[in-house]
C-alpha cells in the first residue's frame, strides 16, 4: 500500500514540474562538475568522502 502511495506522489510531483529554465544565484565554497552515470533504474555520482553526512543541493 505504501509503495503505491509513493508512486502516486511521485507522479503528481512530475506533473507539477516545469521544464522552463529558471535562474538561480548560488553561493558556496566548492563546485564539482560531474557526469551522472547509470545505476540500475536511476543515476549516481560519486562525491568526496568528507561530504558524507553533509547536506548538498543539486541543480540541473
pLDDT, block means (10 residues), the chain with 60 residues: 69 70 86 92 93 89
Within-domain flag for 56: no
Within-domain flag for 58: no
pTM to 2 decimals?
A: 0.49
Q: Give me the residues paired with residue 37 across strands.
A: 44
Cell matching residue 5 = 502511495
Largest Cα span, the chain: 43
The whole domain housing 14 covers: 2-51
Within-domain flag for 15: yes
Within-domain flag for 19: yes
**Phi, psi angles (nearest 5°) of residue 51:** -85, -10
Cell matching residue 8 = 502516486
How many domains does the chain contain in total?
1
**What is the reported pLDDT for 22?**
82
Amino acid at each position: 500500500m505504501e509503495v503505491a502511495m509513493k508512486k502516486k506522489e511521485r507522479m503528481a510531483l512530475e506533473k507539477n514540474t516545469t521544464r522552463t529554465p529558471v535562474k538561480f544565484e548560488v553561493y558556496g565554497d566548492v563546485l564539482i562538475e560531474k557526469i551522472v552515470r547509470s545505476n540500475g533504474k536511476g543515476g549516481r555520482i560519486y562525491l568526496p568522502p568528507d561530504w558524507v553526512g553533509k547536506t548538498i543541493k543539486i541543480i540541473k
